[in-house]
């Protein structure tokens, strides 16, 4: 039986990490995904900056869709969201809030993760039906920003992207992040260039451990 949207969401939230992949070649995606799965990270966001990203999403969904939760990142319009969903994406991530992307993602019953920066933008994205709001870029804001927002608005689900690494991963979780979006700190350019899959697996384990520790597990 195919999994429900809630089951996919819980799979990502349980590990607490989405791997944001900007692969230099589509062919690498299976190896990267297997390395991440071995480290306990099933949430795999293939950014549209990856060459032949839609074909890569289709390949991942076909081969590993029973194990990982494949999504698409850096989505700038509704047409791209639709193409990625039809290829097998279970979640759609954008750097900004575009109402038509959220609407398209919801229509197909997938997880919507639009980007926002200010409290007003975050509330607009949430009000439009976002499942989680990606606070981007979170680099300069830091975890205390989440604490400040969640005091008056505890109903929000937030995730940080930008500047998330092993040093601050636990702090973001403690500040209220549902899960983290980790890019180069998890899947580094160096590891991809050298095809050093064990390095990616070790990073994934370290991130998952940091999340568990922060959650008191």
Q: Cite the active site residues.
A: 45, 134
pLDDT in tens, 178-215: 999 999 999 999 999 999 999 999 999 999 999 999 99
The predicted model gives 128-136 an average pLDDT of: 97
pLDDT in tens, 51-102: 999 999 999 999 999 999 999 999 999 999 999 999 999 999 999 999 999 9
CATH code assigned at 71: 3.20.20.70
Neighbours of 158 (CB within 10 A): 24
Please tell me the predicted confidence (pLDDT) of residue 140: 87
CA dihedral sign, ordered 172, 174, 180, 185: positive
Looking at residue 139, what DSSP letter applies? T
Domain that holds residue 88: 5-214
Cα–Cα dist 76/84, whole Å = 12
Number of structural domains found in the chain: 1
């Amino acid at each position: 039986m195919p999994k429900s949207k809630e089951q996919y969401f819980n799979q990502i939230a349980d590990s607490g990490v989405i791997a944001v992949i900007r692969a230099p070649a589509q062919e690498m995606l299976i190896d990267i995904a297997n390395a991440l799965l071995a480290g306990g990270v099933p949430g795999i966001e293939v950014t549209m900056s990856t060459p032949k990203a839609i074909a890569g999403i289709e390949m991942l969904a076909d081969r590993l869709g029973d194990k990982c939760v494949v999504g698409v990142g850096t989505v700038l319009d509704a047409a791209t969201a639709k193409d990625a969903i039809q290829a097998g994406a279970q979640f759609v991530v954008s750097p900004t809030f575009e109402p038509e992307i959220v609407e398209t993602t919801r229509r197909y019953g997938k997880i919507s993760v639009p980007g926002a920066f200010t409290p007003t933008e975050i509330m607009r994205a949430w009000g439009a039906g976002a499942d989680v709001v990606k606070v981007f870029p979170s680099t300069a804001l830091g975890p205390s920003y989440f604490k400040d927002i969640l005091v008056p608005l505890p109903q929000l689900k937030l995730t940080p992207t930008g500047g998330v690494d092993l040093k601050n991963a636990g702090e973001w979780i403690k500040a209220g992040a549902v899960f983290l979006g980790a890019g180069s700190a998890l899947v580094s350019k160096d590891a991809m260039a050298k095809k050093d899959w064990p390095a990616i697996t070790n990073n994934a384990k370290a991130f998952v451990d940091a999340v568990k520790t922060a959650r008191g597990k």
